[in-house]
Amino acid sequence: MAFFRQVRVQDNVVDASLRDGVLVLGGAPRPGEPVYEGGLLTPPLAEPHVHLDATLLGERRPNQSGTLREGIANWAALRPELTGDDVIARARSTIARYRAYGCTRIRTHVDTGCPVAVEALISLRATLRDEGTTLQIVAFPQEGIFRAPGRREAWEWAVAAGCDAVGAIPHFERTTEEGWASVRLAFDLAEKHGLLLDFHCDETDDPGTRNLEVVCAEAIDRGVGGRVVAGHCTALHSYSNPYAAKVVELVATSGVQVVANPLDNVVLQGRYDSYPRRRGMTRVDALWAAGATVGIGHDSVQDPWYPLGTANLVDAAYMLVHVGQLMSRAEMTRAVRTLWTENHLPFGGAPPPCVWWPVADEVALLRERPMPTLLAPG
């Protein structure tokens, strides 16, 4: 229960009350209830892309080169030592940070090469539900499904064990054909289990990579575009402009949501460049212009790939507007609103407002990055 005097809700400044999780316009404060003066009232934030199995592992084996390659190697070295308790303790610690920053829904990828982590996060999901946090788990084959014996089986096992979505990493498979085959197998597996799909898609600077178009074509042919997320898509940055235009249109037509991860990708990509050095982010402005839906992920919180990060999604939006040069008021506003609008699409749409920010509007939120007040379980 709370009353808001002259609070901004989207484009309007109103008096409003929060009653049993529902926002009621007008009225007056009830005796004894907290009154918030001014500020911005929004739905809780949603995180569409993070790796909770690896979170907070960065300090155990620091990534000295800062490259994706060393991150994968460090994770592979740490992975065999992990216990379920360790995975849960680190995930909980990061989830507490997410909630402090107003986020109540989290989609995590889990490496299917680590069954301990798969089981730990599935068991944690049920507990979190009772605490007002929604956790979705993507069965993510970090090292591909065709590169070595047993990987496909481990991935299929994790999907059957109770994940919410099927993942894949087509650009990491051995050949282009095997990448495309992994995409189609993921669609088949999701169809079989009635699950969502979330690809690590073309997280590379290679302009010859061609997986996003296959993801979109499969989504169109199978009529499931709204159930599919393509994360990273950094190759789109490096495509020729004519090909990029074709792919962007395909993304918009398919209904596939692209999730940009600017914090990680601006440091992990461009590593084979000398100068000029490319920005490691997908074409957010072009996707917006085409009518595609775009989410913003934090991706890593102090893990083997990215040593920084505090699970504050506003930081990810802050980085996105810099790297993407999205500096008009309209662009900055859209970037911040993404955190409580399009970031909820993988979860089926945004819940009602319940987060209060001590700032006048979205641009001020981005500038100040204050701590919010979470008023009710999301």
Catalytic machinery residues: 203
> In this complex, which beta carbon is closest to Zn ion, that of residue 299 or of residue 331?
299
Residues 294-313 that bind Zn ion (CB under 5 A): 299
Q: Which residue has the tokens 């599919």?
A: 228
Q: In the complex, what is the shortest distance from the CB of residue 31 to Zn ion, in angstroms, rounded to a whole number? A: 49
**Ramachandran quadrant class, 155 (left: phi over 0; alpha: psi -120 to 50; beta: rest):** alpha
The DSSP secondary-structure symbol of 290 reads: H
Is there a contact between 298 and 240 (Cβ–Cβ < 8 Å)?
no
Whole-angstrom CA distances from 354 to 1, 45, 303 are 10, 10, 30
Whichever of 2 and 168 has its CB closer to Zn ion, that residue is: 168
How near is the Cβ of 193 to Zn ion at its closest, in Å? 21
User: What tokens appear for 237 in the block?
Assistant: 């940055």
The window from 85-93, 168-176, 292-300, 310-318 that contacts Zn ion (CB under 5 A) reads 292-300
Size of the site for Zn ion (CB under 5 A): 1
Least Å from the CB of residue 326 to Zn ion:
22
Distance of alpha carbon 354 from alpha carbon 45, whole angstroms:
10
Instruction: Name the residue among 54, 48, 47 with its Cα closest to residue 302.
Output: 54
Q: Among the candidate windows 174-182, 243-251, 291-299, 325-333, which touches Zn ion by CB under 5 A? A: 291-299
Please name the residues in contact with 175: beta carbons below 8 A apart, sequence gap of 6 or more.
none
CB of 372 to Zn ion, least distance (A): 25
Q: Which is nearer to Zn ion, 117 or 363 (CB)?
A: 117
Residue tagged 């990491």 (tokens): 172
Nearer to Zn ion, 299 or 362 (CB): 299
Sequence-distant (≥ 6) Cβ neighbours of residue 86 within 8 angstroms: none
Q: Strands 257-260 and 355-357: what pairing?
A: unpaired
Least Å distance, CB 231 to Zn ion, is 6
Residues 59 and 307: their CA atoms lie apart, in Å, by 7
Residue 327 C-alpha from the chain's centroid: 22
Smaller CB distance to Zn ion: residue 164 or 299? 299
CB-based burial label for 222 (10 Å; 0-12, 13-18, 19+): middle
CB of 305 to Zn ion, least distance (A): 8
Q: Which is nearer to Zn ion, 97 or 232 (CB)?
A: 232
Ranked by CB distance to Zn ion, the top (closest) residue is 299
Binding mask 249-288 for Zn ion (x = CB under 5 A): ----------------------------------------
Contacts to Zn ion by CB under 5 A: 299
